[in-house]
Structure 1
Amino acid sequence: MPRVQAGELRLGWREWGRGDVTVVFIHGNLASKDWIELAAPLFPIGLRVVAIDWRGCGDSDRPKPSADYSNYSMRQHAEDMLAALDTLGIGYCHLATHSTGGIIAARMLLEQPQRFGHVFALDPVTPLGMAFDADQIGLFRAMMSSKELTRSVMATAASSLFVPESMGPNTVPRFREGLGEIQTLFDRIIEQTFGVSEGIWIGTPVNLTREKESRELERRMSEIRHPHLVLWGERDGWIAPADLRAMAEAMPDCRLVIVPGVGHSMNLESPALYAGYFGAWFGGRAASPSTAPS
């Protein structure tokens, strides 16, 4: 798998399509660029979609986390992504995000606003951040050594893939019938989580809590003027809809759409539906800022 230099690190990356319009995908926590691989073949002709692994994830380097996990902060991830875009020669692009990728993208948009056009955000962690208490961080630590626990928790991020009766406490999540390649990808994703850095497992909730407490990005939401389409799956138990409504109200050009029947990860749960929204939002967009619509 190819890797791109980003400062002192090399990050895994992948692309689909050869169109003139570039969209960069920023994945979520405990994830990778692979989370859109089933949807990507359904994207419109005319797009080039580039997905980049965070440091500590996928095919990227895994620097040793500092004692306070500051080298896995949301700001650091954003700086990594910007450096990777420099190396790849991507001067202008649109963004697609999922989950924690949303707050990383917010930092990218504020750091280099002229570099980006439209944003498609799936169940994003908003600029408000998220708060995790000691018990919740302890759960992440326990997941690091238990594949069964990890699978059960990750199943809640793609809840529509599983039989509802199997999602309760002390039960083993069971796939619905007929998922085929979606089930295969989910199982591979579970295996991938056991290769990520502790800076991801523990550093992400620690640093999202710092974002929540600092309120830095919350105060700057009105500065993010890039047109946003935000999708929230009605079965998403991870992202508070109140945070998304606050984001939509604070940002000048932000549309929130609630999608029935899916959870936190439409890109996994319903790749064709995800590709449909993705294509409707990005199809026909400008390839450069000089021709971008107002």
Structure 2
Amino acid sequence: MFDGFETRRIATSGAEIHLRIGGDGPPLILLHGYPQTHLIWHRIAPALAERFTVVCPDLRGCGDSSKPPGGGDHSAYSKRALARDVVEVMETLGFVRFAAAGHDRGGRVLHRLALDHPQRLIRAAVLDIAPTRAMYQATDQAFATAYFHWFFLIQPYDLPERMIGADPDGWLQTCLDRWGRTPGAFDPEAVAEYKRCFREPAAIHATCEDYRAAATIDLEHDAADENRLVECPLLALWGGQGLVGRTYDVPALWRVAAERVEGGPLPGGHFLPEEAPEETLAALSGFFGSGAS
């Protein structure tokens, strides 16, 4: 799935990150979301590697990366901690400045990275998300129904862990089926790998900690930075048939959070790199290719 890519494992100050790297050119890191791994990029990373040095990590707590304890305040899975992993991984690889794309939870990591480390980012693309704080502030019955998993996964340890752990394959498949809108979009090999990784109890716990952090310490960080904007050019893409585009005015919310925003909807639902790989590739190639400084 990643022909020509090298597999690496890099120790950061808080985790060990499993990744693939391939290609030659300006550095570009691709961050995955829940409940997947770096394999979500398998249909577009090889093509991007024709123009960029592409880095595809498993986020801390996911895939074959390490899964440290969350801590009493869930800070080990704050987007600040995960963003620090990204910076340290790229530094180890020799990249001080880089471009980045993040889908789902990876997009939330990227938003925090843009605020904490603005000098690092050349350009950033967020896929199928709106800013976390704005979404929580607008919570109503429709949001809570559509995004029920946000409120399920933040329940105290170990209620969601036990419930998901009873049938991890079933839960993961439900997420793909519920949020995707494109029949046949998921490669069976990729799904089998998602399930292999997600069956690990430590992965289930770590991903719950990610959501618990999002509802607590991440909101504290976001509130402290409410008057700060993403400085680099930002591309916002979302699924035209997905939940976020039907629930929010995505570009309007990102214009409040960033200085320069462009983008629009793509076909399909939530999982753009798998549901609309050609359109996602074209959008990312055009955006990242238009600025290399």
Q: 1:130-279 counterparts in 2 under 5 A?
A: 131=136, 132-134=150-152, 137=155, 142-146=163-167, 147-161=169-183, 176=184, 182-195=187-200, 197-210=203-216, 213-214=219-220, 216=222, 219-220=225-226, 222-237=228-243, 240-242=247-249, 244-259=251-266, 261-279=267-285
Give SS of 1:128's match: helix
* 1:2 counterpart (5, 8, 18): 8
Structure of higher RCO (CA pairs closer than 8 Å, 6+ residues apart): 1
Q: Which residue of 1 aligns with 2:57?
A: 52
Q: Displacement, 1:185?
A: 1.8
Q: Displacement, 1:128?
A: 2.0
Please report the RMSD computed on the Cα atoms of aligned residues, expressed in angstroms.
Answer: 2.7
Q: Displacement, 1:270?
A: 2.5
CA contact (8 A) 1:126 1:244 kept: no
Q: Which residue of 2 aligns with 1:28?
A: 33
Q: Displacement, 1:112?
A: 1.8
Rate the CA distance shift 1:217–1:92 in 2: closer, same or farther, 3 A: farther
- The two structures have a TM-score, normalised by structure 1, of 0.80
Q: Displacement, 1:257?
A: 0.4
Q: Displacement, 1:122?
A: 1.0
Q: Displacement, 1:263?
A: 0.6
The runs of at least 4 aligned residues of structure 1 exceeding 6 Å deviation read none
1:200-237 CA deviation, whole Å, 9 max, x = no partner?
33112211112675372585364212111100102222
Instruction: Return the alpha-carbon distance in structure 1 between the equivalents of residues 107 and 216 of structure 2.
Output: 16
Give SS of 2:53's match: strand
Q: Displacement, 1:70?
A: 2.3
Q: Displacement, 1:244?
A: 5.0
Structure 2 alignment gaps of length 5 or more:
1-6, 137-149
Between the aligned residues of both structures, percent identity stands at 20
Structure 1 alignment gaps of length 5 or more:
162-175, 287-291
